[in-house]
Amino acid sequence: MADVDSRPRLGQIVRVLRGRDAGNYAVIIGIEEPHFVLLADGDQRKADCPKKKNLKHIQVTNTINLEIADAIKSHGRVNNAKLRYALNQYLLKLEQKGE
Could you tell me if residue 89 is inside a domain? yes
With b for 16 or more beta-carbon neighbours within 10 A and e for fewer, the 10-39 pattern comes to: bbbbbebeeeebeebbbbbbbeeeeeebbb
Determine the average pLDDT of the residues in 15-25: 95
| pTM of the predicted protein model | 0.90
User: Does residue 50 have a cis peptide bond before it, meaning omega lies within 30 degrees of 0?
Assistant: no
Task: Write out the residue range of the structural domain in which residue 68 sits.
Answer: 12-98
Could you tell me if residue 3 is inside a domain? no
- pLDDT tens-digit map of 66-79: 999 999 999 999 99
- Sign for the CA dihedral angle at 2, 75, 43, 54 comes to positive
| CATH number of domain containing 48 | 2.30.30.140
Determine the average pLDDT of the residues in 51-72: 95
Q: What is the pLDDT of residue 97?
A: 82
Could you tell me if residue 1 is inside a domain? no
Could you tell me if residue 85 is inside a domain? yes
Total domains in the chain come to: 1
Structure letter (DSSP) for residue 1: -
Q: How far apart are CA 83 and CA 81, in angstroms?
A: 5
